[in-house]
């Protein structure tokens, strides 16, 4: 990823929404800044007896709508600026999806592959211990992100409960089912994106069975997105990861491709498909391109090569503001991350509700509720886009930021 200022990207997106926010825009200076960003130094004794120190951060952006909500990533390039920006986008994402949460984010600067299983557990517990005083169902509810998973959340949960001395099943989300997780959580980001895309295609008058999709990023999110799109009749014709990709005009079978990657460790050389470089995937003649990896994948350097009619952002912040302008000028419709990839936090909200009530739902019920919520959010965002003749991203910010500003206005500025 190039060295882009993510917080500056966020502020540019807010700026584009400002003319449509009315009198409440007076409160934007407060919204533009995170409420607090905390830095930690986490000590870890390694298996060889040596001591390493890891920098970590937690950013609380805004909690006008409810407790802070956001993932924790273990990432070698994590930084204060990145975590603060992602927490701000989480505020908009939660509001756009209609969730009773504010936005936060956490991160540890570490390459998890450098640690063994026991070291990773101790680092996870060190982070949970450091943040325990500001975590809880009514304060902040962390969740998985890059390089963290249900097992990480189980370690977080256990550490937090030992500090508290009681059981608090709604303190973290994205947990294993055995410790209070929700059915449907692991694939929720992909399913949410597929629901948003289905509704978007309906607005555009496009039949999903005629739609060809290319997915950039083929980790767990890209793989489950492939399955979700195929289940709706769409044809995924190309996928890529950090090592390259494959293209098959007749479509790629998700099961066979998954088995090939598991067996060989690579997407390349899949029978019946031609190999691609990672960058070539954006220039393919497809209907929908799906960035599902890291930030700033679409930039001013490659956006002009996009031939797709729709960009569906399943990654966080995959499109820079400069690329946004280029795509807008080309007539490419961008389904923004704050809406398209809100499936994960929406089902996290469902898990939080289930944990607080003790009433756990079936996967069918979880996906039904997810579909209902995100389909409604897309339609309302589409209406704003049509009303003001603005891009979907700006409409999503008008919708999300507007909700937060109205809550801030009602609560008042105190002390």
DSSP states of 46-72: -TTS-EEEEEEEEEEEE-SSSSEEEEE
**Contact between 101 and 67 (Cβ < 8 Å):** yes
69 is an active site residue: no
Please state the domain extents for the chain.
20-179, 187-335
Neighbours of 386 (CB within 10 A): 11
Architecture of domain 20-179: 3-Layer(aba) Sandwich (3.40)
Fold of 187-335: Rossmann fold (3.40.50)
Element holding 102 (H helix, E strand): strand 102-109
Residues in a beta bridge with 291: 216
Ramachandran angles phi, psi of 259, nearest 5°: -65, -40
pLDDT at 54: 98
Pairing of strands 212-216, 235-241: parallel
Nearest to 75 by CA among 89, 52, 55: 55
The model's pTM is 0.95
pLDDT at residue number 230: 95
What pLDDT score was predicted for residue 1?
Answer: 46
State whether residue 351 is helix, strand or coil. helix
Residue 21 zone, left/alpha/beta (φ > 0; ψ -120 to 50; rest): alpha
Strand partners, 73: 107
Helices vs strands, H then E, count in the chain: 13, 12
Residue 3: its pLDDT value, please?
A: 74
Look at phi and psi of residue 180 and say left if phi exceeds 0, alpha if psi is from -120 to 50, else beta: left
Yes or no: say if 275 and 269 are a contact pair by the CB < 8 Å rule. yes
3-state SS assignment for residue 414: coil
23 CB neighbour count, 10 Å cutoff: 8
Q: Along the chain (415 residues), what's the average pLDDT of each consecutive run of 10 residues?
A: 83 97 96 98 97 98 98 96 97 98 98 97 98 97 96 98 96 97 95 97 96 95 95 96 94 94 93 91 97 94 97 96 97 97 97 97 98 97 97 98 98 92
Count of residues in the chain: 415
Rounded CA separation 265/136 (Å): 39
The answer to whether domain 20-179 and domain 187-335 are alike in fold is yes
Longest Cα–Cα distance of the chain, Å, equals 66
Nearest to 297 by CA among 221, 241, 378, 335: 241
| Segment holding 144, helix H or strand E | strand 140-144
- Give, to the nearest 10 degrees, the angle between helix 220-231 and helix 254-264: 160
List of residues 6+ apart from 363 with CB closer than 8 A: 183, 184
- The conformational region for residue 165 under phi > 0 = left, psi -120 to 50 = alpha, else beta, is left
Contacts by 115-122, CB closer than 8 A, 24 or more apart: 115/46, 116/47, 118/47, 119/44, 119/46, 119/47, 121/155, 122/44, 122/45
- Is the CB of residue 28 less than 8 Å from the CB of residue 21? yes
Q: Catalytic: which of 93, 105, 261, 403?
A: 105
What does the block give as tokens for 395? Answer: 């409409």
pLDDT for res 213: 98
Q: Output the six-digit token pair for 397.
A: 């910010």
């Amino acid at each position: 990823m190039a060295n882009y200022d993510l917080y500056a990207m966020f502020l540019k997106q807010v700026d584009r929404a400002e003319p449509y926010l009315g009198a409440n825009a007076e409160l934007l200076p407060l919204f533009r800044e995170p409420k607090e960003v905390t830095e930690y130094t986490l000590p870890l004794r390694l298996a060889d007896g040596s001591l390493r120190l890891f920098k970590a951060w937690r950013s609380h952006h805004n909690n006008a709508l409810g407790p802070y909500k956001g993932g924790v990533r273990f990432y070698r390039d994590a930084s204060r600026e990145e975590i603060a920006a992602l927490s701000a986008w989480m505020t908009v994402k939660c509001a756009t999806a209609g969730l009773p949460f504010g936005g936060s984010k956490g991160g540890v600067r570490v390459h998890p592959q450098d640690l063994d299983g026991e070291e990773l557990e101790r680092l996870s517990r060190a982070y949970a211990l450091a943040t325990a005083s500001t975590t809880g169902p009514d304060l902040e509810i962390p969740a998985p992100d890059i390089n963290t998973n249900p097992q990480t959340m189980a370690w977080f949960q256990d550490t937090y409960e030992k500090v508290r001395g009681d059981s608090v099943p709604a303190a973290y989300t994205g947990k294993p089912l055995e410790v209070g997780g929700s059915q449907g959580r692991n694939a929720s980001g992909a399913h949410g994106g597929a629901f948003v895309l289905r509704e978007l295609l309906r607005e555009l008058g496009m039949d999903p069975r005629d739609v060809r999709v290319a997915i950039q990023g083929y980790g767990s999110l890209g793989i489950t997105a492939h399955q979700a799109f195929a289940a709706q009749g769409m044809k995924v014709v190309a996928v890529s990861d950090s090592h390259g990709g494959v293209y098959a005009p007749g479509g790629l079978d998700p099961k066979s491709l998954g088995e090939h990657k598991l067996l060989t460790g690579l997407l390349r050389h899949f029978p019946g498909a031609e190999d691609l470089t990672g960058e070539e995937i954006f220039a393919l003649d497809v209907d929908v391109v799906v960035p599902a990896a890291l930030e700033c994948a679409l930039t001013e350097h490659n956006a002009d090569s996009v031939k797709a009619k729709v960009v569906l952002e399943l990654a966080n912040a995959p499109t820079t503001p400069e690329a946004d302008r280029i795509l807008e000028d080309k007539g490419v419709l961008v389904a923004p991350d704050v809406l398209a990839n809100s499936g994960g936090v929406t089902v996290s909200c469902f898990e939080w509700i289930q944990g607080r009530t003790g009433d756990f739902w079936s996967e069918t019920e979880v996906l039904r509720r997810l579909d209902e919520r995100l389909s409604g959010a897309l339609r309302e965002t589409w209406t704003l886009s049509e009303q003001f003749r603005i891009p979907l991203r700006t409409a999503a910010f008008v919708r999300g930021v507007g909700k937060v500003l109205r809550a801030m206005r009602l609560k008042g500025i105190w002390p």
